[in-house]
Structure 1
């Protein structure tokens, strides 16, 4: 998948029908940075950040209680193929889960990441906490 810049009208990597700047791009950079309005919007923006190697965004949206010290960029032979959101559920005003499947290919082998992710909202911002793989 091509890596769109924030000024391009290319489709958003998260698979929405919107262009990147109007979709996940607005949460990555600019006046709305780090302000995804829902757990699902944050999860989609994090997927796009993984595709685009926006590592500072990924760390900033990872809850401090579970955040790794650092992240590695994508290997050159990794290609992200798509995202499917299976369900998004609010569990009160400040907790939510999002179930998704992210597909990729590396070294000619297909990979499928199926996760039920947990999110929390603190001080008006959503954060990824952790998830269960299936």
Structure 2
């Protein structure tokens, strides 16, 4: 009775034992569908988590630095909700009303004088680039 659970009855214990028998014997994942497998854990033993070298970290699109990603994120945050075409002065005013710092407002005012309809267009005009879809 030592291997029996006090939480379940003997029937449920036998069923759970049967369900996990293949996993215990194989000592590896036994699922046929790969998409059901758990994701592997990234091993970062050789990396210093306190290092300031952010360029090597995952998450930044090719051709963009982490600073570019941060600037693009700030611009998108302060321009939130704009859908109609806007010129640089209107973009800067909108960002200022949303509490943007002076450097973001200045960057928006210095954009080439044309109408912008998406944050991606603003980002391109500032030379920040855009993330391409990852497959």
Band of TM-score, shorter chain: under 0.3
Larger radius of gyration: 2
Q: TM-score, normalised by structure 1?
A: 0.18
